[in-house]
Copies of this chain bind each other. A is one copy, B any other.
């Protein structure tokens, strides 16, 4: 570029918009590299890997003042033809390492190789997500040994990696030293090296080596939840997610919720070690599963990113989480963690790198950081509220000027624990509920049965799966419906007077209960159940309110429900019950496993790592336990809903005939199913 003159052809790369002038004969790949446009290439311009495909736009582009035409690019040459014979190049595509610039050009870097729809969410500030993983494959042809220049085989390899790819001062993983000679000879001196460099300016690491051209490199992005471990398997070369799966966290056998696992560690000398082993083994099994699904070798996994809540994060790294179980809730490490697969017994490539996103605070983990990165409150003007509900609700609130975060002790009620008929979301669990305000008769949907309970064919389906309990999302709905139909009052008391209107409301000791289903197993909602939900929602709402007060705002522009809970509940019911503040309903979105999406972004783009590291440092952490006002907010939030006039968006929901509006919200369930699939 230094010697480019104003008469040289002008080349514009889309969609980045980067442009520059290059001498006639420059390859498109070289031009892209000089401009910092990310175009993958493994073979280093030998037209054998096919990773560097681009498209040439034809015609006049007045806006860019560039005119592209067919004779502005070199014709398909011998190497490209040979590649096209062996593999397929889609119509209109060229290999940028072979195509030379002959005149002004507009070049499309195809979206399918640069961005991944799953990673990108449209947000106020839509960003182009450029792929720039920490691991890169580099094919080189190494000089054969020469007695006159007795440089080691590895040293000659490193020389070539510097010459062809610009990697200087390479650090070599110890385990490769014994392998390098065999690999070089097996590849007849042509080998593919995997280079890892996360931080710009740090020394590149040679982490893996294959004979010949190795055209596959994968990564895993993993969210270690207390209940479920979710994993994406991603091609680092295309950026595509090629398999996704989940598995239960086997630590459940040591304790259902987080605090009982911490207790287990405190009570059992080998507890920490057993739980670390269990979660690593589950991750290895899940890795094997996604690899089998995609038909790839786990040895081709070269990078892994993880998000987790603080206790899962610590147990995964082998750190005793005891300190997190008691004030001052000190994290052993809050910043990002870089390590190696072999240091934590992951069954992927022995040289693979591992990156854990930073934790925000003792109760706001790397999972919340991942969700923050994915949803990007810090990237937009709009005031965004992001909620991830589990045993604790992790709450992040803010915009590009300021972001605050807290954890609120909702307890496990939202997950169906502490609820008399509560159970996990599994076949047989009631997942949706409607109550007729006139008759107080319910109708509901059961996981594993296609029909609603009042539709033909339901009984046959229900006979097969059995009706066994209520899952988390339905708990919210049934309490909201009980409130909307007048069975419970604003202060959450099951109204005994209703027993006169329907036998479904009945005295149950000193309080009243509601009989949701009268079958082989009675499904009942008790006064205690309502109280548990009331307490949980009050804790969540108080936490949100506290953060809004910190920012001096009384209104949020947009709300994101992250996590499984958010995917299953209907945002409208969340608002009816007063879990979340008033907001335009179209701006309330369930975003599925946003934490995992954040891990995915960090896997595919090093800049995302820097972004979340910087953001986490900037986030103001609020500890609800230290805020005297929190208690008052909590008490205020016990009412159902908190204060109706605080929810103008809900006024139509509450005052109009409920069935109609809420049925619309439910639709055919497609929205929910789509969200679920996206996880």
Residues in A lying within 8 Å of B, measured CB to CB? 144-155, 158, 169, 171-172, 174-175, 177-178, 180-182, 199, 202-203, 317-320, 323, 327-335, 337-340, 343-344, 359-362, 621, 623, 625-626
Given that A150-B361, A625-B147 are contacting pairs, would A181 and B343 also be in contact in the complex, using a CB cutoff of 8 Å?
no
Q: How far is the CA of A146 from the CA of B621 in the complex (A)?
A: 11
Q: Given contacts A362-B150, A625-B147, are A323 and B174 in contact (CB under 8 A)? A: no
Can you list 23 A-B pairs, Cβ within 8 angstroms, ordered by A?
A145-B329, A147-B328, A147-B362, A147-B623, A147-B626, A149-B621, A150-B331, A151-B334, A152-B332, A152-B334, A153-B331, A153-B332, A153-B333, A154-B333, A155-B334, A158-B335, A171-B338, A174-B339, A174-B340, A175-B343, A178-B320, A181-B319, A202-B202
Known: A150-B329, A202-B203. A174 touches B335 (CB 8 A): no
The CA-CA distance from A151 to B329 in the complex, in Å, is 10
Q: Are B202 and A332 in contact (CB under 8 A)?
A: no
A535 to chain B, nearest CB (A): 23
Which residue from chain B places its CB closest to the CB of A327 in the assembled complex? B147
B317 touching A177, Cβ below 8 Å: yes
**Docked complex Cα distance between A190 and B625 (Å):** 28
The listed residue with most B CB atoms (<10 A of its CB), out of A150, A323, A333, is A150
Residues of B within 8 Å of A145, CB to CB, are 323, 328-330
Chain B residues with CB under 8 A of A626: 147-148
Q: How far is the CA of A625 from the CA of B146 in the complex (A)?
A: 13
| Residue of B158, B169, B359 touching A152 (CB-CB under 8 A) | B359
Distance A365 CA – B328 CA, assembled complex (angstroms): 56
CB distance from A466 to the nearest CB of B (A): 44
**Which residues of chain B are near A154, meaning CB under 8 Å?**
332-335
A320 to B178, CA, bound (A): 6
Q: In the complex, which of the residues A147, A148, A158, A344 has the most CB atoms of chain B within 10 Å of its own CB atom?
A: A147
Nearest CB on B from A269, distance (A): 14
Q: A147-B626, A319-B177, A623-B147 are in contact. Are A152 and B333 (CB under 8 A)?
A: yes
Q: How far is the CB of A662 from chain B (nearest CB, A)?
A: 40
User: Contact at A180–B147, with CB atoms within 8 Å?
Assistant: no
Q: How far is the CB of A316 from chain B (nearest CB, A)?
A: 10
Given contacts A147-B625, A181-B320, 10 further A-B pairs with CB under 8 A are: A144-B328, A145-B328, A147-B328, A149-B621, A150-B361, A152-B331, A178-B317, A178-B332, A181-B330, A182-B320
Q: Within the assembled complex, what's the spacing in Å between the Cα atoms of A171 and B330? A: 20
Chain B hits for A621, CB < 8 A = 148-150
Query: Are B178 and A318 touching (Cβ within 8 A)?
Result: yes
Contact yes or no, B148 A335, CB < 8 A:
no
Q: How far apart sit A199 and B320, CA to CA, in the bound complex (Å)?
A: 34
